[in-house]
A and B are shown apart, each in its own frame.
Chain A
Amino acid sequence: MEEEEDQSLSFSEVVEEQQGQRGSEEENVVQFLDSLDSYLTLFDSLSSTLRQGWLELASARHSMGVSRINGTLLDLKPHSAATTLQVSEPDVDYMVGQPHFKLSKWASSNNENCCFGEEKIREDKLQTKSDSPQLRNRSQFSGTPATNGASLIVDDQVSVSQALMFSYNKEVQKERSKSLSMFGTLVSPKLRSAQLSFETALETLVEIANMRSTMFSTSDQIRKEMAGPRDDNKRYCIAEEVCD
């Protein structure tokens, strides 16, 4: 009797496991299709951003003159990269083993704090968010003066993060102007728009690389899972034999 119960339990466990696996397979397929859709959408977006950028560059050339915007003005002196790409290798312990690409924009050697500015502001914002619920909790028990003090502290932290964001934006603007300075310091707004378009295109390229990486890893997982059901069938047969 107990043996029969054990056998039926193992059979139901197998069935549940199979259903769970099928659910996870479907989830992977959906994830793969989602990432494929995002990949194609990003490609379209990249194509239109680049078209926009090239036209804006032509427009800037039309406005400022051919002698002010041409390839012979590009700076051949050695200088540090304004933007770098970091590739993190796939973690062996991590289930989804895929390289991850991260762009660090406007990080020159003269201004190393620039690329970290955004993280600092995010950290401050997170700290603000994490601090403020506690302050709110304290204010619930401590009455009006503490509430006013707490809200002042929150306001101060928000204004500090806003000031940090402002100084970060200013630094980014400075770096942007520095990279355009090879065409002169008083350049047309059309050239600045072209710069922004190409900057957006670069970000989109990195997103495409990450999306492609996700696609490959989910595709690998799906393939592994498709190879996997033969083992499950064997286990089912074993379970059937056991039941018999």
Chain B
Amino acid sequence: MYGFEALTFNVDGGYLEAIVRGHRAGLLTASDYNNLCQCENLDDIKMHLSATEYGSYLQNEPSPLHTTTIVEKCTLKLVDEYKHMLCQATEPLSTFLEYITYGHMIDNVVLIVTGTLHERDVHELLEKCHPLGMFDSIATLAVAQNMRELYRLVLVDTPLAPYFSECITSEDLDDMNIEIMRNTLYKAYLEDFYRFCQKLGGATSEIMSDLLSFEADRRAVNITINSIGTELTRDDRRKLYSNFGLLYPYGHEELAVCEDIDQVRGVMEKYPPYQSIFAKMSYGESQMLDKAFYEEEVKRLCLAFEQQFHYAVFFAYMRLREQEIRNLMWISECVAQNQKSRVHDSVVFIF
């Protein structure tokens, strides 16, 4: 019953909630970002990060550093923290934590399948997979020729199996089919995650519904903008939108027929939570849209920590760390390319 979580939550989840709140305190602050933005080269960034929780992960990396190395090591830290929490978790928190990684699993499956289609070595592809999305039989994905084989040979024993019902065909895997497969899987995953959170009830359900609805709406906007000028038909576009969220169903109907960014703006401005996002952009421009969405997401994720005794703090923490890693990647790229004036184009401050 909502409101009575305080009586029982700490029995199973108290320790891990305390852990995740402690991890949250280790997120980089605005002064850390200011110092990082003033670095002259990647070794300076490494030196500044040595004073943070990333220090132990970067200290043994030899110079010259590369931006991908910084991202990999920072991701390793997140993976270690996640694995520690997962091994300490009991049901239903352990299932909730596993749900957080299914998105990465989908990305890894698509990476392997796409790379195999382009005749790349599977070991090379495995190195590029996200560690949070790894599973045992991932390397055998390279054998499949179509989606039916993909499902039958590999994915039937993975958590992604239930999401494949909508995209099992005998069509050969090509670039368009892979893209549709990616988005269909992600749609099925989000809807399943949403239903799972609704079943949990209480504060978890309330906060996660808001966060997942925002994610679904953002996906719908990105799919619309990215499909403008492509061969994706309106019906196919409509099928990729999730069946929940603030934009469902009328916003989706309008987005499905948009042909340019201004029409997308016209649709989104009818929804008050998204008016402020599109107000930051000028007409015809979409470059700052990603940053605007990330800023809104960070705001909502930080608010999740204002309540106790729910699982949304774990989801929020993982997403905030991923945002932090994206920030570090962008700062590293701007420093490496000697374009520090553009560093604030995409950095989203968390605190």
Kindly supply a per-residue 1/0 record for chain A positions 5-30, scoring 1 wherever the CB is within 8 Å of any chain B CB and 0 otherwise: 00000000000000000000000000
Kindly supply a per-residue 1/0 record for chain A positions 169-182, scoring 1 wherever the CB is within 8 Å of any chain B CB and 0 otherwise: 00001000100011
How far apart sit A72 and B68, CA to CA, in the bound complex (Å)? Answer: 13
Our pick among A61, A65, A186 for the contact of B230 (Cβ within 8 Å) is A186
Check: B262 CB closer than 8 A to any chain A CB.
Answer: no
Check: A220 CB closer than 8 A to any chain B CB.
Answer: no
- Give the distance to chain A from B252, nearest Cβ to Cβ, in Å: 16
- Known pairs A62-B346, A67-B111, A67-B130; A186 contacts B227 (CB<8 A): yes
How far apart sit A75 and B119, CA to CA, in the bound complex (Å)? Answer: 7
In the complex formed, the residue of B with least CB distance to A190 is B287
How far apart sit A173 and B108, CA to CA, in the bound complex (Å)? Answer: 29
Q: Is there an interface contact between B178 and A63, defined as CB atoms closer than 8 Å?
A: no
Interface size class of A (residues with CB under 8 A): 20 to 34
In A17-70, the 8 Å CB interface with B consists of 51, 54-55, 58-59, 61-63, 65-68, 70
Q: Is there an interface contact between A55 and B339, defined as CB atoms closer than 8 Å?
A: yes
Check: B21 CB closer than 8 A to any chain A CB.
Answer: no
- Known pairs A55-B339, A184-B175, A184-B179; A189 contacts B225 (CB<8 A): yes
- Give the distance to chain B from A234, nearest Cβ to Cβ, in Å: 58
Kindly supply a per-residue 1/0 record for chain B positions 327-348, scoring 1 wherever the CB is within 8 Å of any chain A CB and 0 otherwise: 0011001100101001001100
How far apart sit A173 and B230, CA to CA, in the bound complex (Å)? Answer: 9
How far apart sit A51 and B334, CA to CA, in the bound complex (Å)? Answer: 11
Check: A77 CB closer than 8 A to any chain B CB.
Answer: yes
- Known pairs A51-B339, A184-B179; A77 contacts B226 (CB<8 A): no
Of B5-13, B121-129, B156-164, B241-249, the stretch lying at the interface with chain A is B121-129
Count, chain B residues at interface, CB 8 A: 45
Check: B195 CB closer than 8 A to any chain A CB.
Answer: no
- Known pairs A55-B337, A62-B330, A67-B107; A186 contacts B115 (CB<8 A): no
- Give the distance to chain B from A57, nearest Cβ to Cβ, in Å: 9
How far apart sit A77 and B175, CA to CA, in the bound complex (Å)? Answer: 14
- Give the distance to chain A from B235, nearest Cβ to Cβ, in Å: 15
Our pick among A59, A66, A184 for the contact of B182 (Cβ within 8 Å) is A184
Q: Is there an interface contact between A66 and B226, defined as CB atoms closer than 8 Å?
A: no
Kindly supply a per-residue 1/0 record for chain B positions 10-54, scoring 1 wherever the CB is within 8 Å of any chain A CB and 0 otherwise: 000000000000000000000000000000000000000000000
Q: Is there an interface contact between B107 and A65, defined as CB atoms closer than 8 Å?
A: yes
Q: Is there an interface contact between A58 and B226, defined as CB atoms closer than 8 Å?
A: no
- Known pairs A67-B130, A185-B176; A75 contacts B326 (CB<8 A): no
How far apart sit A77 and B229, CA to CA, in the bound complex (Å)? Answer: 26
Q: Is there an interface contact between B232 and A185, defined as CB atoms closer than 8 Å?
A: yes
How far apart sit A196 and B178, CA to CA, in the bound complex (Å)? Answer: 25
Our pick among B130, B227, B337 for the contact of A58 (Cβ within 8 Å) is B337
Q: Is there an interface contact between B130 and A177, defined as CB atoms closer than 8 Å?
A: no
- Give the distance to chain B from A11, nearest Cβ to Cβ, in Å: 64
Q: Is there an interface contact between A73 and B118, defined as CB atoms closer than 8 Å?
A: yes
- Known pairs A184-B179, A185-B175, A185-B179; A63 contacts B118 (CB<8 A): no
Our pick among A51, A55, A182, A188 for the contact of B226 (Cβ within 8 Å) is A188
How far apart sit A109 and B108, CA to CA, in the bound complex (Å)? Answer: 33
Check: B231 CB closer than 8 A to any chain A CB.
Answer: yes
In the complex formed, the residue of A with least CB distance to B68 is A66
In the complex formed, the residue of B with least CB distance to A181 is B175
Check: B71 CB closer than 8 A to any chain A CB.
Answer: yes
**Chain A CB within 10 Å — which of B108, B230, B232 has the most?**
B230
- Known pairs A185-B232, A186-B226, A186-B227; A59 contacts B107 (CB<8 A): no
7 further A-B pairs in the complex, CB-CB below 8 A; given A51-B339, A186-B183: A62-B346, A66-B128, A74-B118, A75-B119, A77-B118, A184-B179, A185-B176
12 contacting pairs across A/B (C-beta < 8 A):
A51-B337, A55-B339, A59-B287, A66-B329, A72-B125, A72-B128, A177-B231, A185-B176, A186-B179, A186-B227, A189-B226, A189-B287
Residues in chain A within 8 A of chain B (CB atoms): 51, 54-55, 58-59, 61-63, 65-68, 70, 72-77, 173, 177, 181-182, 184-190
